[in-house]
Amino acid sequence: VARPDLPLPSDRVWTDPEKLAPYARDEASTGKLPLAVAFPVDASEVAAVMRWASAHRVPVIPRGAGSGLSGAAVPLADAVVLSLEKMNRILSIDPENMTATVEPGVITGDIRRAAAAAGLLYAPIPASLDFCTIGGNVATNAGGLCAVKYGVTREHVLGLEAVLPTGETIVTGGALAKNSTAYNLTQLLCGSEGTLAVIVKIILKLLPLPAETVTMLAPFDSVDALAKAVVTVVSGKVIPATMELLPRAAVRCVLAKHPEYSYPFPEKVASLLLELDGMDANLVAEQATAVAAILQAHGAGEPVVATTPARRAELWTLRKQVRDSIAHTAPYVEADAVVPRAKLPDLVRAADAAGVAAGLEQITYGHAGDGNLHTYFWRGTHDDVAWARASEIALTHLFTATVALGGTLSGEHGLGHLKRDYLPLALAPETIALMKRLKAAFDPAGILNPHKVFP
Ligand SMILES: Cc1cc2nc3c(=O)[nH]c(=O)nc-3n(C[C@H](O)[C@H](O)[C@H](O)COP(=O)(O)OP(=O)(O)OC[C@H]3O[C@@H](n4cnc5c(N)ncnc54)[C@H](O)[C@@H]3O)c2cc1C
């Protein structure tokens, strides 16, 4: 297909190679230049594009903001990119049912702000909050910074409208507190990485907005001690919203990129960023005292505690820059392994061991409270061939250890094409075969986001 004759007005079909280039990549990989990028403005236009694609057997790659970290939104062969960015309306915030109904291209942070204006909380906070879309969050089942207490995106999705690769529209779930009617297609589409259907409308669950929040940053002399402290805090029946591991190497990357930042513990081996929230100020303060005591019993230094929005934002500033600072320091390959929380100290050791086995330096940081850490293995001075081999050794080593710990390959980023080949390490052939049959049931012609998820 030289210049696809897509059924949209010409100003919403781009074919100029310079304009297409950003749509060939996400935050982790670059694929092939798309044949075109299509910008539908409503569900009927998405359906028209999918009917056209189905008739012409042209692959289609749904795309939100392209902030993904697994190469899931990049074309790997001739394909049209279907950008949902113009479908960006918050359709309703419903305080009586405590729901929000939104289009997929809404920036996640805008949903949080709109809910907060009504005294409500849309809970998930991916660190990419200010630029990723809710459609991308649903399609990757994004996690983020407060999943310890609130869970991941999937737990906040009540219903969806989605367009199948054939162009038919389905409605799943609804603005319902309960639903046991037949199969749960809503949850199947959450985390399906744009391979089953194009999500065109989302009904989200909202919660009461917490009245009180306390943020603390506690320094540790060892990552192992920090990991054990995390496990003890949660098993002590206080569930913080956030528990983030910031190792010294990550702090150094951020400070190198942002020398203007101040950080209270730049020389400490690791810090734990922890946040507690709730409705009752006294209760939250009591919990903060109890948690600080547990951390200190595990060897933490005196934590810095912040209760005002301005002071809390200061403690968060550095954490929000970690991923970008690491990614822009040097070439890397990244893992998003997740283990049962109690195995967190073992995951930290497994990441170390994987680096040693591959001969690569690594930084491991992230969502300690979820047992979900991001490990960045640096390329160093390896040439292309040595780097390909070393990165495969590192990932194979880490994923094998993760699975042996009862964990799995991805806690929140998905597999895309960058991790798809490791799937057999995590799932049995029967399970993968069933998933492929599901894919074929949704997408008999195999045109929706092909070459993703499966080896
Ligand atoms: C600095 C930084 C921090 C990050 N922090 C986090 C974090 O804390 N937690 C986390 O989980 N992720 C994080 N991410 C990764 C990324 O932001 C998430 O994966 C996010 O959910 C992707 O959203 P997006 O709109 O950019 O989707 P894209 O990257 O455009 O697409 C991701 C996948 O979703 C599919 N998709 C997108 N929209 C639709 C749709 N409407 N229908 C069907 N499929 C669709 C695509 O086909 C693709 O498979 C971070 C990324 C960066 C760069």
- What are residue 207's DSSP bridge partners? 121
Residue nearest to atom 13 of ligand 1 (CA): 126
Q: Which ligand 1 atom is at minimum distance from the Cα of 133?
A: 25
What pLDDT score was predicted for residue 3?
Answer: 60
Residue labelled with tokens 């029967």: 430
Residue 220 CA: distances (Å) to CA of 59, 74, 130, 250, 254: 50, 39, 30, 14, 18
CA 67 / ligand 1 centre spacing (Å): 5
Chain mean position to CA 186:
18
| Strand positions, DSSP E, 318-441 | 332-335, 362-367, 372-378
Q: Are 86 and 46 in contact, with CB atoms under 8 Å apart?
A: no
Q: How far, in Å, CA of 336 to CA of 115, rounded? A: 29
Query: Is ligand 1 within 6 A of the CB of residue 126?
Result: yes
Distance CA 254, CA 322 (A): 6
What is the C-alpha separation between 337 and 342, in angstroms, rounded? 14
Q: What pLDDT does 236 receive?
A: 87
CA of 131, closest atom in ligand 1: 26
453 lines ligand 1 (CB under 6 A): no
Q: Which pLDDT value is given to residue 1?
A: 45
Element (H, E) at 377: strand 372-378
Q: Is residue 137 lining ligand 1, measured as CB closer than 6 Å?
A: yes
Q: Tell me what pLDDT residue 405 has.
A: 98
CA of 442 to the centre of ligand 1 (A): 22
HEC states along 53-100? HHHHCCCEEEECCCCCCCCCCCCCCCCEEEECCCCCCEEEEECCCCEE
Centre of ligand 1 from the C-alpha of residue 199, in Å: 13
pLDDT number for residue 237: 85
C-beta 88 within 6 A of ligand 1: no
Tens-digit pLDDT profile for the chain (455 aa)? 456 799 999 999 999 999 999 999 999 999 999 999 999 999 999 999 999 999 999 999 999 999 999 999 999 999 999 999 999 999 999 999 999 999 999 999 999 999 999 999 999 999 999 999 999 999 999 999 999 999 999 999 999 999 999 999 999 999 999 999 999 999 999 999 999 999 999 999 999 999 999 999 999 999 999 999 999 999 988 999 999 999 999 999 999 999 999 899 999 999 999 999 999 999 999 999 999 999 999 999 999 999 999 999 999 999 999 999 999 888 999 999 999 999 999 999 999 999 999 999 999 999 999 999 999 999 999 999 999 999 999 999 999 999 999 999 999 999 999 999 999 999 999 999 999 999 999 999 999 999 999 99
Q: 305 alpha carbon to ligand 1 midpoint, in Å?
A: 32
State the pairing for strand pair 36-38/80-83.
Answer: parallel
- Please identify, by atom number, the ligand 1 atom nearest to the C-alpha of residue 137: 21
Give yes or no for residue 128 CB within 6 A of ligand 1: yes
CA-87 nearest atom, ligand 1 = 41
The residue to mutate among 49, 82, 140, having the most atoms of ligand 1 within 8 angstroms of its beta carbon, is 140
Best residue for ligand 1 mutational test, from 23, 132, 152 (most atoms within 8 Å of Cβ): 132
Residue 57's region, left for phi above 0, alpha for psi from -120 to 50, else beta, is left
The best mutation among 29, 69, 454 to test binding of ligand 1, ranked by most ligand atoms within 8 Å of the C-beta, falls on: 69
User: 225: CA distance to ligand 1 center in Å?
Assistant: 32
Instruction: State how far the Cα of 209 lies from the Cα of 278, in Å rounded to an integer.
Output: 9
**In angstroms, what is the span from residue 410 Cα to ligand 1's centroid?**
13
Tokens encoding 67: 């902030």
Find the 220 Cα to ligand 1 centroid distance in Å. 32
Place of tokens 């694609």: 53
Alpha-carbon distance 452 to 71, whole Å?
8
Return the amino acid letter for 317: T
The residue contributing the CA closest to ligand 1 atom 44 is: 194
CB 203 within 8 A of CB 158: yes
Distant-in-sequence, close-in-space partners of 117: CB < 8 Å, separation ≥ 6: 93
- Burial code (b: 16+ CB inside 10 Å, e: under 16) for 268-278 equals bbbbbbbbbbb
A 10 A CB-CB count for 381 gives 7
Between CA 47 and CA 340 the distance in angstroms is 40
- Cα separation, 132 vs 379, in Å, equals 27
